[in-house]
């Protein structure tokens, strides 16, 4: 297992290296994002640990870049910032876990293992439901083999339903899911009516079944009969 450690505090980097190598891994360290970028261009890593606290860039950029080049690598953010904002953004951007400082080396190790276990099984394949196939990679949806064009909202909606078949989803939770917004107080959630309608129409027009049932007073359900 090859691990890249991006960390500018030499003592910590050293400690991490020592511990993780004891566990049977091979580690490299980089003290700056530039160095990390160079190394990552040369080697393939299974896991990359990034301290987003270092100077020279927000640290989030590098994750995006790394994610692109090293699709197979798991990325774990390590950070002293306890700001939730950074946490969210890090995860959104494509890191796979977040470990706030200070942490026990044992926990770090556990997370690395968990991450790679997770990653091993199923690398986000297609999602299928009868005549509907969703390819999350390409953000493409096929109905009866024919591609249909969905807007971002419709796509998110469809995925949410497919992830929760036969389960009543409240209008509230649907609304939260759509408006990626940190959803403090959505004053109104009527907008989901529109999206529901549009998604229904596009699916039906393409010849798919009518799976979105409204549950009076509750919300909606992707109904599998």
Partner DNA sequence: TTTGGACTATGAAAATTCTAATTATCGAGG
Partner DNA sequence: CCTCGATAATTAGAATTTTCATAGTCCAAA
Distances (CA, A) of 74 to 117, 140, 166, 179: 10, 24, 32, 27
Query: Residue 11: CB partners within 8 Å, gap ≥ 6?
Result: none
Stretch near a copy of itself under the rule CB under 8 A, chosen from 3-11, 72-80, 89-97, 197-205:
89-97
Output the DSSP codes for 64-95: HHHHHH-TT-EEEEEES---HHHHHHHHHHT-
Residue 168 bridge partners (DSSP)? 221
Taking CB under 7 A as the binding criterion, the range among 48-56, 96-104, 105-113, 213-221 that sits at the site for DNA is 213-221
Nearer to a copy of itself, 167 or 197 (CB): 167
Alpha carbon distance 197, 38 (integer Å): 49
Contacts with a copy of itself by CB under 8 A: the residue count is 40
Choices 7-15, 30-38, 172-180, 196-204; region in contact with a copy of itself by CB under 8 A: 172-180
Q: Which is closer to DNA, CB of 22 or CB of 194?
A: 194
Q: CA 71, CA 75: separation in Å to the nearest integer? A: 10
Residue in 60, 112, 107, 61 with CA at minimum distance from that of residue 81: 60
Collapse the DSSP code of 185 into the 3-class scheme (helix H, G, I; strand E, B; otherwise coil) and give the result.
coil
- Of 2-10, 25-33, 35-43, 84-92, which segment contacts a copy of itself by CB under 8 A? 84-92
Binding mask 136-155 for DNA (x = CB under 7 A): -------------x-xxxx-
Binding to a copy of itself (CB under 8 A) within 189-218 occurs at none
Instruction: Specify the residue, 116 or 168, whose C-beta has the smaller distance to DNA.
Output: 168
- What is the Cα–Cα distance from 165 to 212, expressed in whole angstroms? 10
**Residue 178 in the binding site for DNA (CB under 7 A):** yes
**87 contacts which partner out of a copy of itself, DNA, none, CB within 5 to 8 A by kind?**
a copy of itself
Contacts of residue 195, Cβ cutoff 8 Å, sequence gap at least 6? 153, 154, 157, 178
Q: Which residues make up the interface to a copy of itself (CB under 8 A)? A: 57-58, 60-61, 64-65, 68, 82, 84-85, 87-89, 91-94, 96-97, 114, 118, 137, 139, 152, 163-164, 167-170, 172-173, 176-177, 180-185
Contact residues: DNA, CB under 7 A: 149, 151-154, 171, 178-179, 187-188, 190-191, 193-197, 200, 214-219
């Amino acid at each position: 297992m090859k691990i890249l450690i991006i960390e500018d505090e030499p003592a910590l980097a050293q400690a991490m290296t020592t511990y993780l190598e004891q566990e049977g891994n091979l580690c490299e360290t980089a003290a700056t994002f530039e160095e990390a970028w160079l190394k990552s261009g040369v080697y393939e890593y299974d896991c990359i640990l990034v301290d987003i606290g270092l100077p020279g860039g927000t640290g989030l950029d590098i994750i995006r870049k790394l994610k692109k080049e090293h699709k197979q690598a798991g990325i774990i953010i390590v950070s002293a910032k306890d700001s939730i904002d950074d946490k969210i953004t890090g995860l959104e951007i494509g890191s796979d876990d977040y470990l706030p400082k200070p942490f026990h080396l044992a926990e770090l190790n556990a997370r690395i293992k968990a991450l790679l276990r997770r990653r091993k099984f199923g690398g986000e394949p297609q999602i299928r439901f009868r005549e509907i196939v969703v390819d999350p990679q390409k953000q493409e949806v096929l109905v009866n083999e024919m591609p249909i064009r969905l807007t971002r909202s419709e796509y998110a909606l469809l995925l949410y339903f497919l992830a929760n078949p036969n389960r009543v989803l409240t209008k509230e939770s649907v609304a939260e899911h759509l408006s990626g917004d940190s959803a403090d107080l959505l004053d109104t959630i009527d907008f989901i009516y529109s999206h529901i309608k549009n998604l229904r129409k596009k699916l039906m027009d393409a010849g798919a079944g009518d799976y979105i049932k409204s549950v009076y007073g509750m919300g909606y359900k992707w109904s599998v009969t």
